[in-house]
RNA sequence: CGGGGUGUAGCGCAGUUGGCAGCGCACCGCGUUUGGGACGCGGGGGUCGGCGGUUCAAGUCCGCCCACCCCGACCA
């Protein structure tokens, strides 16, 4: 661990990002190119994300299951767009047990195909529907360039796969899970996101429609933080997922899939972090409160530690860490836990023992301004209140930042300026040509066509033709 | 695959006209410290990316190879 200052976030955002992750011991690259080791502290955050999402999945009637890591190549080839979309980034096993395989096995880049294969066996009757299954898994996509959490060769995620009797139900499911992701991002991660539909060029290979939640990072670039796909009957037809309806007629199912990955950790880091390092939203923070005892000698220690233990015991259902390391100074610990993003720090020293107080320092407000004395009495209540307050102020701050970097673009000139400074919000006719022109001129792409629309019509910001929908253009990760 | 760059201690780097392999941080030991990144003294750690060449002598000069990073095309 280093005790040097971090690179400033405004000076070099990408260096800041890598430094924070490494110094906070969130993750490392493994010796193999592009693969990521998630360190215990990073994994603890992921576990909290898992727990939060899993609770919402259960509440909406989904159950967990597991499917194979290896998928026969022929499975992917059954859906034309799917294999075309994924073939450049597949890792393929050609040798097994020293023998060349009859048919290559693909290391799953996503599991629609193998799950579709199983669903065709499992689903026979309308009584089997809807089938609502989620899988927590790792997947592999052979990316050209990797970035910790955001784009790694292997990543961890959850992928939900559902089958329904009607299109209407599948559409409802797709939007329901988009809503679940939105609630998770906003309420638990304090990451404001815009739910919307992807353009045809940006959608998932094999989907009818893709939806996503889009977040703005601290450098104003956009990050797709979760996706929900309406697969229509594309996979049902490719894999023969059929059922007999009440009239004894054979019907194809309507399917969906949706996922959130370890990429979301990157979203949290880049949304909330500052020049001191990470800031964890209290609801997901691996450590919510760190207590730093302060003493000069054994005598002071013997007075301070019982108070520390008493406070720790009272904060029973809060994730508390007592940093009783003796080899580093309190000042070092302050910086260390700030780097790791612990939302609230309690300092307890001889003065607090005398006064019956503790010093509380909130992570979201740096320096003296974020410090206050709390009475030791009723500490559980005051700490809980502070955590709630920090959670909501993080969301408020991120939302204000995002909104001040979204610009209405009424003309192409305005769009060019807007995507330099943040996101452009503009009418778009839906033509891929207009989208491609923007990408060529600015590197910005359509992020999503938001669910909430202003209504009425406008003129496409690129070609001037009549447009029915407004869309966000932005540079993206 | 195209353009640019870098390989020297765990990490970050310096190394001049070729002449004993260095610095900061980290690590280990002892002591003093401890309310915002402590200090002193002592210590351990190297196939200088690899192979070959020039030379009395190569981290340094020459040739070939390898690896990695950044910018493009691709992407949750």
Which is higher by pLDDT, A96 or A159?
Answer: A159
Q: What is the pTM of this model?
A: 0.96
Q: Between residues A31 and A429, which one has the greater pLDDT?
A: A429
CA dist A367 and A362 (Å) reads 9
- Give bridge partners of residue A210 from the DSSP assignment: A229
CB A359, CB A348: distance < 8 Å: yes
Say yes or no: Cβ of A336 under 7 A from any atom of strand B: yes
The pLDDT of residue A1 is above 60: no
Give which of A79, A193, A68, A173 is closest to A129, Cα–Cα.
A173
Higher-scoring residue by pLDDT: A39, A189: A189
H helical segments located in A273-371: 298-314, 330-339, 350-355
Instruction: Tell me the CA–C1' distance in angstroms for A234 and B46.
Output: 60
* Cα–Cα distance for residue pair A458/A429, rounded to 1 Å: 9
Contacting residues for A138 by C-beta, under 8 A, at least 6 apart: A69, A154, A155, A156, A157
pLDDT of A82 higher than 70: yes
Q: Which nucleotide is nearest to A150 (CA to C1')?
A: B76
ipTM of the complex: 0.86
Average pLDDT of the residues in A268-293: 96
List of A residues 262-291 with CB within 7 A of strand B: 262-263, 276
B67 closest protein residue (CA to C1'): A33
At residue A3 the predicted structure's pLDDT band, cuts being 50, 70 and 90, is low
A46 beta carbon to strand B: under 7 Å: no
Q: What is the pLDDT of residue A130?
A: 98
| A347 pLDDT more than 80 | yes
Q: Average the pLDDT over A349-377 and give the result.
A: 96
The answer for residues whose C-beta is within 8 angstroms of residue A296's C-beta and 6 or more apart is A350
Q: Confidence band (pLDDT; 50, 70, 90) for A31?
A: low
**Of A6, A402, A37, which Cα lies nearest the Cα of A192?**
A402
Report the b/e string of A69-87 with b at 16+ CB within 10 A: bebbbebbebbeebbebbe
A2 pLDDT more than 60? no
A348 has a pLDDT exceeding 90: yes
Distance CA A342, CA A42 (A): 13
Percent of chain A with pLDDT over 90: 84
Q: Return mean pLDDT, chain A.
A: 94
Residue A32 predicted with pLDDT over 80? no
Average pLDDT of the residues in A382-399: 98
And the tokens for A348? 């307890």
Using only C-alpha atoms, what is the Rg of chain A? Answer: 25
pLDDT of residue A33: 64
Residues A35 and A64: their CA atoms lie apart, in Å, by 26
Nucleotide nearest to A327 (CA to C1'): B34
CB-based burial label for A217 (10 Å; 0-12, 13-18, 19+): buried
Q: Which two tokens stand for residue A56?
A: 């919402």
pLDDT digits (tens, 9 = 90+) for A288-345: 999 999 999 999 999 999 999 999 999 999 999 999 999 999 999 999 999 999 999 9
Q: Which residue intervals of A24-96 are DSSP H helices?
A: 40-59, 73-77, 80-86
- Cβ of A351: how many Cβ atoms within 10 Å? 13
- Predicted confidence band at A146 (pLDDT cuts at 50, 70, 90)? confident
Give strand pairing partners of A132.
A162
> What pLDDT sits at residue A227?
97
Residue A461, pLDDT score: 95
Q: Which of left, alpha, beta for A307 (phi over 0: left; psi -120 to 50: alpha)?
A: alpha
Nucleotide with smallest C1' distance to residue A332 CA:
B37
Mean pLDDT of A363-369: 94
Gap between the Cα atoms of A440 and A423, Å rounded: 16
In whole angstroms, B73 C1' to A69 CA is: 29
- Segment among A145-159, A300-314, A448-462 with least mean pLDDT: A145-159
- In strand B, which positions have an atom below 7 A from any protein CB? 1, 11, 25-27, 33-38, 67-76
Pairing of strands A70-72, A289-293: unpaired
d(CA A416, CA A111): 39
What letter does residue A188 receive in the DSSP assignment? Answer: I
Cis peptide bond N-terminal to A130, omega within 30: yes
What residue has its CA nearest to the C1' of B12?
A: A2
Question: Under a CB-based contact definition with an 8 Å cutoff, are residues A140 and A91 in contact?
Answer: yes
Would the pLDDT of A165 be above 80? yes
Contact A266, A223 (CB under 8 A): yes
- List of A residues 139-158 with CB within 7 A of strand B: 141, 143-146, 150-153, 155
């Amino acid at each position: 661990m280093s005790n040097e200052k971090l690179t400033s976030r405004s000076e070099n955002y990408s260096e800041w990002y890598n430094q924070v992750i490494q110094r906070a011991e969130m993750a490392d690259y493994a010796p193999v190119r592009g693969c990521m080791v998630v360190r215990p502290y990073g994994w603890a955050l992921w576990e909290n994300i898992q727990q939060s999402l899993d609770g919402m999945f259960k509440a909406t009637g989904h159950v967990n299951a597991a499917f194979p890591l290896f998928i026969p190549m022929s499975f992917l080839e059954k859906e034309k767009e799917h294999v075309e979309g994924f073939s450049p980034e597949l890792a393929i096993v050609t040798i097994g047990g020293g023998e060349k395989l009859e048919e290559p096995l693909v290391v799953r880049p996503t599991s629609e195909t193998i799950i579709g294969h199983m669903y065709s066996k499992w689903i026979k009757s309308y009584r089997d529907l809807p089938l609502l299954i989620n899988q927590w898994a790792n997947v592999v996509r052979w990316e050209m360039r990797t970035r910790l959490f955001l784009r790694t060769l292997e990543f961890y995620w959850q992928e939900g796969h559902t089958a329904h009797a009607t299109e209407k139900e599948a559409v409802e499911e797709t939007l329901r899970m988009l809503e679940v992701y939105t609630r998770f991002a906003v309420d638990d991660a304090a990451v404001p996101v815009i739910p919307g539909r992807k353009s045809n060029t940006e959608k998932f290979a094999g989907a009818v429609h893709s939806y996503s939640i889009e977040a703005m990072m601290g450098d104003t670039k956009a990050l797709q933080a979760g996706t929900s796909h309406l697969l229509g009957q594309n996979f049902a037809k490719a894999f023969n997922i059929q059922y007999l309806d009440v009239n004894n007629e054979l019907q194809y199912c309507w399917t969906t899939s949706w996922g959130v990955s370890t990429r979301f950790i990157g979203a949290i880091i880049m949304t909330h972090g500052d020049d001191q390092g990470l800031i964890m939203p209290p609801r997901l923070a691996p450590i919510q409160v760190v207590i730093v005892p302060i003493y000069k000698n054994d005598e002071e220690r013997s007075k301070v530690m019982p108070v520390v233990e008493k406070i720790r015991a009272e904060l029973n259902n809060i994730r508390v860490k007592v940093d009783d390391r003796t080899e580093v100074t309190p000042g070092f610990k302050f910086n260390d836990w700030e780097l790791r993003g612990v939302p609230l720090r309690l300092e307890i020293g001889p003065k607090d023992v005398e006064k019956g107080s503790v010093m509380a320092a909130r992570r979201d407000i740096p320096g003296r301004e974020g410090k206050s004395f709390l009475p030791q009495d009723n500490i559980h209540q005051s700490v809980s209140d502070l955590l709630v307050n920090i959670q909501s102020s993080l969301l408020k701050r991120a939302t204000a930042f995002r909104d001040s970097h979204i610009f209405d673009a009424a003309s192409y000139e305005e769009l060019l300026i807007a995507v330099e400074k943040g996101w452009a919000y503009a009418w778009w006719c839906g033509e891929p040509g207009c989208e491609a022109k923007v990408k060529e001129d600015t590197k910005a792409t359509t992020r999503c066509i938001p669910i909430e629309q202003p209504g009425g019509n406008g003129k496409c910001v690129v070609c001037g033709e009549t447009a029915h929908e407004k869309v966000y253009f932005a540079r993206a990760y």
